[in-house]
Amino acid sequence: MTHNISEKLFALTQRNSAVREMFEEGNRLAALYGRENVYDFSLGNPNFPAPKKVKDAVVDILDSEPSTMVHGYMSNAGFSDVRAAVAGSLNSRFGTSFNAQNIIMTVGAAGSLNVILKTLLNPGDEVVAIAPYFLEYGNYVANYDGVLTVVPPTSPDFQPDAEAIGKAVTPKTKALIINSPNNPTGVIYSEETIKKIAAVLEAKQKEYGHAIYILADEPYRELAYDGYEVPWLTKFYRNAIVSYSWSKSLSLPGERIGYLVIPAEADDSALIIDAAAIANRVMGFVNAPSLMQRVVMHCLDERTDIAAYDSNRKLLYKGLKDAGFECAYPQGAFYMWVKTPCDDKEFCARAKKYNILVVPGSSFACPGYVRIAYCVSPKTIEGSLPGFKKLAEEFSL
Ligand code: PLP
């Protein structure tokens, strides 16, 4: 077939994201059966509203700050007072000593990851990801002609295996992506796991004589249940760079606002900071959305309703366990990771008969499981449970 678009993008048109496909399928089923009769657990799109303070901040800012400033261009790295406020907030929480220079405001975590990968990668450089992982990592790395290397999953607890990570690292490895709390498993990587990974990478850095960065992808940092602590990576590893976003913590995914933390002690820190701001510009983002930068500065201590997610977590977990499914109790994020009694894609097809939409584990490089995004209304969970029960009965669970 001939076409006029790039080969890379043509390939993507041929294999659209399974998550997005499910989402479209949800819309189709909702048109047929009514939205309330479709149990769509496909997309990590928060159902709970942004805290009231977000709206108040929008109104206050528009009323009180000069329009030319609020809506204007600024430094490619972001407003300096916003960057300073973010640094101060991190310092008070984690005992670090960042300043405005160490923070680059970005277009969400997706923007952060693309900016840092563009900053670090030459064609052929390798980036290690740990399965199961957010599949967009492959696309982001490919954007800069990098190569994604995948460490196999470690069931049943899905804490990464540091030794296996060491085996995946080669002289071409530039970075390891770590995502905790994890999408899709809901696992929080423990301090012990992080220390082991840091030790392995330190040894590899020495062996190869160059930096191997950890890119900590943390859009779910604030979504940790039962008092679980999410280790702050820069305390354990000098070359850790953190990517954050308010998409989930303030329920603002469409607003596209996040940041990168590039610590002063990281190798080539000053150069990376300069280059990341330039990457923001030349990739066409130019800067993170200006109004949202100002809004998040006023909402640094605000959080989404974690108790509501927690209640969903308990409701869904109990329903699935009572039906006979095997799944781990998530420690963070808003995903349930469930073992499938048959091929995971077949399971998703069978679930659709009950108007239940879930995403196959193969979409996260880990077949044999499905991901259920429980950032939905409790009614959706309650309504889905009879269908899950019938599904379990089909497999005599
Ligand atoms: N990283 C992970 C693990 C995610 O799950 C997501 C979104 O779901 C992103 C990054 C992108 O988040 P953002 O909306 O901030 O770009």
- Quick check: 226 pLDDT over 70? yes
Rounded-to-integer distance, Cα 364 and Cα 320, Å: 21
Structure token digits, residue 252: 């603002």
Rounded-to-integer distance, Cα 249 and Cα 86, Å: 15
pTM of the model: 0.96
Of 197, 241, 240, 244, which Cα lies nearest the Cα of 223?
244
Ligand 1 atom closest to the Cα of residue 112 is: 16
Q: How far is the CA of 386 from the centre of ligand 1 (A)?
A: 31
Domains (range + CATH), the chain: 7-51+305-394 (3.90.1150.10), 52-297 (3.40.640.10)
Ligand 1 atom closest to the Cα of residue 108 is: 15
Are the CB atoms for 149 and 177 separated by under 8 Å?
Answer: no
What string of DSSP letters covers 94-162?
H-----GGGEEEESHHHHHHHHHHHHHPPTT-EEEEESS--THHHHHHHHTT-EEEEEPP-TTT----H
Kindly indicate the confidence band of residue 248, based on its pLDDT and cuts at 50, 70 and 90. Answer: very high
Kindly indicate the confidence band of residue 70, based on its pLDDT and cuts at 50, 70 and 90. Answer: very high
Structure token digits, residue 43: 């997309």
Q: How far is the CA of 109 from the centre of ligand 1 (A)?
A: 5
- Mean of all residue pLDDT scores within the chain: 96
- Quick check: 16 pLDDT over 90? no
Q: Phi, psi (5° rounding) for residue 190? A: -75, 165
* pLDDT of amino acid 1: 60
Ligand 1 atom closest to the Cα of residue 182 is: 3
Kindly indicate the confidence band of residue 202, based on its pLDDT and cuts at 50, 70 and 90. Answer: very high
Structure token digits, residue 56: 């108040």
CB atoms within 10 A of CB 5: 9
* pLDDT of amino acid 159: 97
Question: What's the mean pLDDT in 376-385?
Answer: 97
The count of residues in the chain is 397
* pLDDT of amino acid 305: 92
Q: What are the CA-CA distances from residue 38 to residues 94, 135, 308, 390 (Å)?
A: 42, 25, 21, 16
Q: How far is the CA of 253 from the centre of ligand 1 (A)?
A: 9
Query: What residue ranges line ligand 1, CB within 6 angstroms?
Result: 44, 108-110, 134, 179, 183, 217, 219, 245, 247, 253, 258
Collapsing DSSP to helix, strand or coil, 226 comes out as coil
- Quick check: 318 pLDDT over 70? yes
- Quick check: 125 pLDDT over 80? yes
- Quick check: 122 pLDDT over 90? yes
Q: 35 or 146: whose pLDDT is higher?
A: 146
* pLDDT of amino acid 229: 93
Question: What's the mean pLDDT in 223-237?
Answer: 97
